[in-house]
A and B are shown apart, each in its own frame.
Chain A
Amino acid sequence: MTALLSVTGLRKRFGGLTVVDDVSFDVAPGEVVSIIGPNGSGKTTTLNIICGTLRADEGDVVLAGERISGRRPYRIAELGLTRTFQNGRVIGNLTVGDNVRVGLEAVQRVGRPFPRLRHLVGLRWIALLAEVGSALIPSRARRRQDRADTQHVVTQLDRFGSRLAPRVNQYAYSLSYANRRRTEIARALVSEPRLLVLDEPTAGMNPTETAEVLQQLLALKAEGQTILLVEHKLDLVMTLSDRVLVLDDGHVIAHGPPAAVQRDPRVVEAYLGRAFAEGVDS
C-alpha cells in the first residue's frame, strides 16, 4: 500500500468523553478525501490530531512512511503537511504578502542554516544564532532566495485571480472575511505541501464565493495536489472528493466513493436526512 497518509486506530478522550473513537483511514497520493459528519462528531479533533495541534491517546498517523503522531505541529509542517483552520487564522498585523511568506518557513533553507540541529534542545542555538547572523548580514544567496520567495507568493496569490493579488501589501486585518480565508489557503499552499488539510474552507462564505472556492480546489486537484478536507457543504464535497469518510459520535460510520456514501442508510440517518437522500435518488 502506497498511502501518503495513513491513520490507524485513532482515539481521543476529553475527560470521560471519547471524541474520536478508533478512526482509521488512508489517503493515497493525488487523492481528495473528505470527512463529513454532524457537529461534534469529531471531525476537527481528528484533523487537529493529524496536524499535531492535539495529541492522540491512542493510534498512529503516518505521513509518507514517517510516523508523525506525537510530533509537534512545526515538525509536521516541515515534513510536508500544512493546514488551514476552521475559523481562519491569518496574521492580522502582517501584510497579505508576509502572511503567505510565513508559509514558506517550513521549507526555508537559505538563511536558516543547520536545519538538523533545529530539533535538538540546546544545539538548536547554533542554528538560531546562525540565522540571526544571516538576518543581520544577508548573503547573496539569501537575497536571491528572497526574490524567489516573492515570486512564489505572487504565484499563489494569482491562483485567486484579482481577489488577492492587488492587495499584497495590505494588512490582513483589513481584508474581507473571504479574502482572509483565501490568504490562509495561499499560506498553506506556498510551501508545496505533500498533503493539504483544509478545515471548512468555505465556512461563512456565500454561494458565489463557495462556487469560486470549488473551482479553485478542482484546479488544485487537477494539478495532483493531495487534499484532506472537512466540510459541511455537501455539493462541494460530492463534486470534489474521490472518497468520503462519515463520522458520527467519534466513529467512522461509512466510508467510500461519494455516490455510495450518499445512499448509505446509516449516513442518511445520522447526518444527511431523508429529504437529501430522496432528492439524490429521484
Chain B
Amino acid sequence: MDILLAGLVGGSTYALLAVGVSLIFGVSNIVNFAHGAVFAAGAMMGWLLAAVLGWPLWAVLIGVVVFTSILGLVIYLVAVRPLRAAPGIAVLLATFAVGIILDNTSQRVFGAETRRFPSLLERSNLELFGFRFGTIAIVIVGVSVVCVVVLAYVLARTRLGRAIRATSQDAEAAAQMGIPIARVQAIAFVVASALGGVAGVLVGMYYSNVSPSMGFAAGVQAFAAATLGGLGSLPGAIVGGLILGVAEAFGVALWGDSVRHLITFGALILVLWIRPGGILGRVPTIASEPMTGTFFGAGKPLRLGRWPAIVLIAVGALLPLVAGDYLLRTGALVWIYALFALSVTIAGGFAGQIVLGQAGALAIGAYTSALLVTKFAWDFWASFIAAGLLAAIFSVILTAPTWRLRGHYVSMATLATGAFIAALALNLQDVTNGARGIYGIPRPTLFGMPVQSAWGMYLLTFAILVVALIIVARLGSSHLGRTWAAVREDEVAAAASGIHPAAYKSLAFGLGSVLAGFAGALYAAQITYLEPSQFGISLSVLAVTIAILGGLRAPMGAVIGAIILVGVPELFRGLSDWRLLFYGVLLLLLILLRPQGLWAHSDLLSRGWRRLRGRRPAAAGEVREEVGR
C-alpha cells in the first residue's frame, strides 16, 4: 500500500511533466528536450525561495511558476521560433542545446551539489485504513489534479483552448483563420514550463533533495510517460505518468534503484510494440496526401571529388608527424565518434529515420569486444567483427516492430531501445560487472604487435574510418541509396512503387548499427575502461548532433561534425567547469545559423567561390573555409 501511494505520488509528478511534453508536442509538433531542464531549474529556484529565503509554500509555488513561465517563453523565442521553417529534428536539437545551457547555468549559479529541500508540510500525520501518510502526499496529488483539471477546462471550454486545439490539428489552416499560432505556441511553452516548475517543487518537497543535474533523467521519464500514453493526448499523458510511477515504485521496491530505467524503457518498448500509438493514442490510418507545391529543397550534400579526397586523407594520415600525443589521442577519439555518427548518416541521412538510440549499439559493441578480449582471450579483430554483428542483430531485433511507424514514433522507440540497452548493462551484473564497470581493456594487436602508442591508435582508427567512409559513400550513391531516398521522402509513394519501406528502414538501421558496434569496439580499446553511465541518452543525441551539424546527407558530414563537436570541446578541457556550457552554446549557435549542416550546399559561399575562381564548380576549398581550420 505504501508502495502504491509512493507510486501514485511519483506518477502524478511524471504526469505533470508528461502533460507539458504532450501539450508542446500537440501544438508545435516538437519533442522539447529542454523540459527536464526547466523542471530542474524550477526545483532549484524553489530551493532558493524555500530554504534560503524561507518563503511559505504558496509563495514558493507562485514564484517558481513565474520563473519557469519566463524560462518557457525564452526557450520558445530563442530555440523554437527562429527554426520554424527548419526540419523538426533541428528544433529538437536546439531544445537539447538549451537544456544543456540551462542545466550548466544552474550548476554555476546554485552549485553542482545536491541540496536539502525543506518539506514544508507534514510527512506522516494522517492515517487511513491502517497506513500512514502525510499532508504532503495529498498536496502533491491534489496540486497535480487541480493543474490538470484547470488545463483540461481551458482546452475544452475557452477561446484560447479552441485556438490551441485548432493549432494542434492543422497549424496552417488555423493561421489562415486568424489564429496567431506563434502566440498560441508560445503560450503552450509557457503553460507547459509552469507545470514543469510546479512538478519541480513538488518532487523537491517529496524526495527532500534537489540538484541541478536531476532534470535530464526526469525529462526523459516524462517523454516515456507521454509516449506511453499516446503523444499529444493529455489524458494519455496522465495515464502514462501514473502507470510509469506505480510500475517504477514497485520495481524499485523489489529490485533496487538500478532497475528504474529498465522498467521505464522496457515498458515503453513493449507498449510501442503492441499499441504503437500509445495507450490512448492512435496512429492515423492514412496520412493526408502532401499537397504539391509544399516541397522544400533540403540542404543538398556536397560531393567530394577524387583529388580533394586524396589530399584530405593524406593530411589526416600525416598529422602524427607534427602533432603531440594529446592531440593524437583526441584525434583517435574524434575518428571513433565520426564512425559512430556515420551510423546516423545511414539511418537518418539516407533512409530518413531520426534514430536516438545509437548509444545502445555502441554499448553492445564496446561490451562485446571488451568481454571477448578480457574474459575469453579473443583476438581483437575477431572481437571487432563480433561487436559489429552483435550490435546489429540486437538493435534490429529490438526495433523490428518499430519500422511500420514514422517520424517521432521511430525516434522515441529507438531512444527507448538505446536507453534500455544501457539499463541492461547496469543490471546484468554477472556479465557486465554492473556499475563497477570493466577496467584494463587491452589495446588492439596488429600482426601480433599490440598497438600501444598514441599515433598507432590514431592511424588505426583513421584507416578504419576512411574505409567506412568509402563504403557508406558507395552505398549512398548506389541504387540502394535511391531506394532509401524514396522511403525517406515519401513512404506511401515508395510502397506504391514496390518498395517495402519497413525492410529498407530496418536495413539502414542495421547497417548503421554495425558501424556503431565497430566504433564501440574501438572505443573500448581506446578508453580502456567501460561503465554503463558512458552510454546514456546524451551519447545517442551526440551522434545525431554530429551527423546533423556536419551535414546529414553526406558521409563527410559525420567527420566534420565530430571534429567540431568532439575535437574542439576536448581541446578546452582546461575550462572543465565551463566546458559543457560552452558546448551547449556552440551547439545552439550552429543549429540556429546552419540547420542544414555544414557540409551542404551554401549559396552564399558557392557564389563567392565562383567569383573568385571564375565559375569553377565548388570543391573542397569551400569546405575548408566553412570548417574554418
Q: Which residues of A contact B (CB under 8 A)?
A: 48, 51-54, 72-74, 77-78, 82-83, 85-94, 98, 101-103, 105-108, 111, 118, 124-125, 128, 131-132, 135-136, 138, 146, 171-174, 177, 180, 187-188, 191, 204
Which one, B285, B289, B291, B295, contacts A54 given CB within 8 A?
B285
Cα of A194 to Cα of B470 in the assembled complex, Å: 40
Checking A48, A73, A98 against B485 with a beta-carbon cut-off of 8 angstroms, the contacting residue is A98
B75 contacts the other chain (CB 8 A): no
Q: Are A89 and B490 in contact (CB under 8 A)?
A: yes
Q: Are A74 and B286 in contact (CB under 8 A)?
A: no
Query: Residue on A with the closest CB to B493?
Result: A89
Query: Which listed residue, B290, B291, B485, B501, touches A93 by the CB 8 Å rule?
Result: B485
Of the candidates A85, A98, A136, A180, which one forms a contact with B474 in the assembled complex, judged by CB atoms under 8 Å apart?
A136
Which residue of chain B has its CB nearest to the CB of A197?
B496
**Nearest Cβ on chain B to A48's Cβ, whole angstroms:** 7
Which residues does B use to contact A, with CB under 8 Å? 285-286, 289-293, 295-298, 396, 471, 474-475, 478-483, 485-486, 489-490, 492-501, 503-504, 507, 510-511
| Cα of A171 to Cα of B601 in the assembled complex, Å | 15
B497 A102 Cβ-Cβ under 8 A: yes
Closest residue on chain A to residue B476 by CB atoms: A135
Known: A87-B291, A105-B483, A173-B296. A74 touches B490 (CB 8 A): no
The CA of A94 and the CA of B479, in the complex, are separated in Å by 12
Name the A residues within 8 Å of B478 (CB-CB).
135-136, 138
A interface SS class: helix
Provide the bound-state CA to CA distance between A173 and B296, in Å.
Answer: 7
Besides the contacts A54-B285, A54-B286, A106-B497, what 12 more A-B pairs have beta carbons closer than 8 Å?
A53-B492, A77-B498, A83-B496, A85-B493, A92-B489, A93-B297, A93-B485, A93-B489, A132-B507, A174-B297, A187-B497, A191-B498
Nearest residue, chain A, Cβ from B498: A106
Residue of B289, B291, B493 most packed against chain A (CB within 10 A):
B493
Residue of A nearest to B400 (CB): A121
Q: Known: A86-B289, A128-B503, A136-B475. Is A77-B496 also a contact (CB below 8 A)?
A: yes
Asked if residues B507 and A101 are in contact (CB atoms below 8 Å), the reply is no
Can you list 30 A-B pairs, Cβ within 8 angstroms, ordered by A? A48-B286, A52-B495, A53-B495, A73-B492, A73-B495, A74-B500, A77-B496, A82-B498, A85-B289, A85-B492, A87-B291, A89-B290, A89-B493, A91-B485, A91-B486, A92-B296, A94-B482, A98-B482, A98-B485, A101-B479, A105-B494, A107-B498, A108-B479, A118-B503, A124-B500, A124-B503, A128-B507, A132-B507, A136-B478, A173-B295
A156 to chain B, nearest CB (A): 13
The minimal Cβ–Cβ distance linking B136 to chain A, given in whole angstroms, is 45
A159 to B45, CA, bound (A): 69
Interface centre among B286, B501, B503 (most CB of A within 10 A): B503
Shortest CB–CB separation between residue B282 and chain A, in angstroms? 12
Complex CA gap A135/B481 in Å reads 9
Cβ contact within 8 Å between A88 and B497? no
In the complex, A102→B36 CA distance in Å?
43
Known contacts A87-B291, A88-B292; A135 and B475 CB within 8 A of each other: yes
- What is the distance, in angstroms, from B286's C-beta to the closest C-beta of chain A? 6
Which A residues touch B494, using CB under 8 A? 91, 102, 105
Rank and list the top 6 A-B pairs by shortest CB-CB distance, nearest first.
A106-B498, A92-B295, A77-B498, A135-B478, A173-B295, A89-B493
Q: Chain B binding site: helix, strand, loop or mixed by DSSP?
A: helix
B488: nearest chain-A partner, CB-CB: A93
Of chain A, the residue at the smallest CB distance from B297 is A173
Docked-complex contact A103 and B497, CB < 8 angstroms: yes
Of A92, A102, A177, most buried by chain B (CB within 10 Å of CB) is A102
Tell me how far the C-beta of A187 lies from the nearest C-beta in chain B, rounded to whole angstroms. Answer: 6
Q: Once the chains are docked, how many angstroms separate the CA of A128 from the CA of B403? A: 15
A54 to B287, CA, bound (A): 11
CA distance A274 to B256 in the complex (A): 78
What is the CB-to-nearest-CB distance from B509 to chain A, in angstroms, rounded to a whole number? 12
Chain A: minimal CB distance from B170 (Å)? 16
Residues of the B chain whose Cβ atoms lie less than 8 Å from the Cβ of A78: 498
Residues of chain A with a CB closer than 8 A to B479's CB: 101, 108, 111, 135, 146
Closest chain A residue to B397 by CB distance?
A122
Cα-based distance from A135 to B346 in the complex (angstroms): 14
Query: Using Cβ atoms and an 8 Å threshold, which residues of chain A touch B290?
Result: 87, 89
Q: In the complex, what residues of A have CB within 8 A of residue B482's CB?
A: 94, 98, 101-102
Given contacts A77-B497, A102-B482, A131-B480, contact A89 B289 (CB under 8 A): yes
B496-A82 in contact (CB<8A): yes
Residue of B nearest to A55 (CB): B285
Contact of A136 among B295, B296, B471, B496 (CB under 8 A): B471
Cα distance, A136 to B475, chains bound together (Å): 6
**Alpha-carbon distance A173/B511, docked complex (angstroms):** 29
A204: chain B residues at CB < 8 Å are: 292
Q: Which residue of B lies closest to A91 (CB)?
A: B489
Given contacts A89-B490, A94-B485, A128-B503, contact A135 B480 (CB under 8 A): yes
Cβ-defined contact, A91 with B286, below 8 A: no
Q: Which residues of A contact B295 (CB under 8 A)?
A: 92-93, 172-173
Q: Which residues of B contact A72 (CB under 8 A)?
A: 495, 500
CA distance A86 to B290 in the complex (A): 10
> How far does the alpha carbon of A87 sit from the alpha carbon of B291 in the complex, in Å?
6
